[in-house]
Amino acid sequence: EMATKGGYPHFMLKEIYEQPESLASTVAGLEWAQLSAVADMLLSARNIYVLGAGSSYHAGLTFAARLPRLRLTPVPIIASEYYTYERLFDRDDVAIAISQSGETIDTIRAARAMRERGVKVVAVTNVVGSTLARESDVVIYTRAGPEIGVAATKTFTTQVATLSALYLAVLKAVGVDTSELERELKALPEAVRKTIENTAGTAKDLAKRMKEKRSAYYLGRGLSLPVAMEGALKLKEVAYIHAEAYPAGESKHGPIALVEEGFPVVFVFSDPDTREKTLSNVAEMKARGAYAIGVVPAKSDLAKKLDFPVEVPESGELAAPVTYVVPLQLLAYFAAVERGYDPDKPRNLAKTVTVE
Ligand code: AGP
């Protein structure tokens, strides 16, 4: 079994370390003509739905959060909640349906309901010939390779990278010069390699400090929020520590009530546009005794504002939702191991959920 794990103690760690390769294959495999056709579909759509479950939904949120900059209005839909939106579905609409396995029944049922009403469904999946791939109008493949660990890691980052490429294609279609962003996308595998190298030790130290904690908040604003949501999900899934992601500004409307001396709060600073505002939440939380952890850009003065900074090498704005999630994956992994759990086989979870 050690052989299939390539010398790593767990698949989850192996798959975290495989991310530079998975991203390189995914970026190299992008079909730009296809992305540009989907970009045109999005630009002429009446409604744009962004659909997925779990980590795939979070990947979708990183895309949805960018569209308003182009005056496009996305409707993010958690797959199991699609019926709330069913009456909106119409032939002038486009859905981006995200599922690494392509077999999650909630996502398949939602996509079917959409297609029945004429919505064009664009699938983003890691599995060629999967049910979702077969039943969609267009299929964009991620090339993460097979993921054995139950918690999504490399499939998540390749989804985010693919959706970033799609966003880039939309920018291009409206006449924006994207040459700088294209360079950023090509440099993403190397940026992730550097991030793993620079943050693994720090994440392990942090896991030791988190070991006895029963609960944590993950806070972020704007594009940092889906990254925080994914980080919190990882911690719950494999380390069994209650973790709640919240929009940082909203945390004072309730969640702050739980904060007392030593309560861990993880702040995500991947979105450069919301850094100042998030800092005011750091101050608020610290005033209540919170232990303020922050995933922050390296070489900035943000580290000084936190009790425990994790510094991420600069990779650019397009790449940030990918690079900033990496130390959060590592934290969840090491916290699971510290607490004596097998991160590859979390209790109660299945890799692919085929019941509604
Ligand atoms: C494992 O529990 C995953 N992290 C889970 O949230 C997963 O992302 C979700 O079940 C969706 O799976 P899919 O991408 O295969 O549709």
- Express each pLDDT in 278-297 by its tens digit: 999 999 999 999 999 999 99
- Express each pLDDT in 18-29 by its tens digit: 999 999 999 999
**159 CA closest ligand 1 atom index:** 14
Position 167 pLDDT exceeds 70 = yes
Nearest Cα to Cα of residue 348 among 157, 107, 151: 151
Cβ atoms of residues 291 and 263 within 8 Å: yes
Q: How far is the CA of 353 from the centre of ligand 1 (A)?
A: 8
Look at residue 346 in the predicted model and tell me its pLDDT.
86
pLDDT band at 4 (very low <50, low <70, confident <90, very high): confident
pTM of structure: 0.97
**How many other C-beta atoms lie within 10 A of the C-beta of residue 81?**
13
Q: How far is the CA of 102 from the centre of ligand 1 (A)?
A: 10
Q: How far is the CA of 343 from the centre of ligand 1 (A)?
A: 15
User: What string of H, E and C letters represents the secondary structure of the chain?
Assistant: CCCCCCCCCCHHHHHHHCHHHHHHHHHHCCCHHHHHHHHHHHHHCCCEEEEECHHHHHHHHHHHCCHHHHCCCEEEEEHHHHHHHHHHCCCCCEEEEEECCCCCHHHHHHHHHHHHCCCEEEEEECCCCCHHHHCCCEEEECCCCCCCCCCCCHHHHHHHHHHHHHHHHHHHHCCCCCHHHHHHHHCHHHHHHHHHHHHHHHHHHHHHHHCCCCEEEEEECCCHHHHHHHHHHHHHHHHCCEEEEEEHHHHHHCHHHHCCCCCEEEEECCCHHHHHHHHHHHHHHHHCCCEEEEEEECCCHHHHHCCEEEEECCCCCCCHHHHCHHHHHHHHHHHHHHCCCCCCCCCCCCCCCCCC
Tokens standing for 302? 């943000």
Catalytic residues: 351
Mean pLDDT over residues 82-111, rounded? 98
**How many other C-beta atoms lie within 10 A of the C-beta of residue 61?**
23
pLDDT band at 106 (very low <50, low <70, confident <90, very high): very high
**349 CA closest ligand 1 atom index:** 2
Higher-confidence position of 18 and 354: 18
Q: How far is the CA of 9 from the centre of ligand 1 (A)?
A: 22
**Positive/negative CA dihedral, 311, 314, 318, 323:** negative
Look at residue 147 in the predicted model and tell me its pLDDT.
94
Q: Whose CA is nearest to atom 13 of ligand 1?
A: 99
Q: Which of 50, 55, 148 to mutate to test the pocket of ligand 1 (most atoms within 8 A of CB)?
A: 55
Q: Whose CA is nearest to atom 2 of ligand 1?
A: 151
- Express each pLDDT in 26-48 by its tens digit: 999 999 999 999 999 999 999 99
**How many other C-beta atoms lie within 10 A of the C-beta of residue 35?**
21
Whole-number mean pLDDT of the chain? Answer: 96
**237 CA closest ligand 1 atom index:** 2
Position 2 pLDDT exceeds 60 = no
Mean pLDDT over residues 312-334, rounded? 97
Look at residue 3 in the predicted model and tell me its pLDDT.
55
Q: Which of 126, 353, 356 to mutate to test the pocket of ligand 1 (most atoms within 8 A of CB)?
A: 353
Q: Which of 61, 80, 100 to mutate to test the pocket of ligand 1 (most atoms within 8 A of CB)?
A: 100
Nearest Cα to Cα of residue 309 among 210, 200, 206: 206
Look at residue 79 in the predicted model and tell me its pLDDT.
98
Q: Whose CA is nearest to atom 15 of ligand 1?
A: 101
Q: How far is the CA of 248 from the centre of ligand 1 (A)?
A: 25
Percent of all residues in the chain with a pLDDT value above 90, rounded to a whole number: 94
In sequence order, what are the beta bridge partners of 139? 123
**346 CA closest ligand 1 atom index:** 2
Q: How far is the CA of 100 from the centre of ligand 1 (A)?
A: 7
- Express each pLDDT in 203-220 by its tens digit: 999 999 999 999 999 999
Nearest Cα to Cα of residue 54 among 118, 182, 147: 147
d(CA 274, CA 301): 15
- Express each pLDDT in 337-353 by its tens digit: 999 999 998 888 888 88
Q: Whose CA is nearest to atom 9 of ligand 1?
A: 54
Mean pLDDT over residues 180-202, rounded? 98
Q: Whose CA is nearest to atom 5 of ligand 1?
A: 54
| Cα Rg, the chain, nearest whole Å | 19
Position 1 pLDDT exceeds 70 = no
In sequence order, what are the beta bridge partners of 95? 49, 121
List residues near ligand 1 (CB under 6 A): 53-56, 99-101, 104, 107, 150-152, 237, 349, 352-353
Measure Cα distances from 138 to 5, 21, 54, 101, 201 in Å. 34, 25, 22, 16, 41
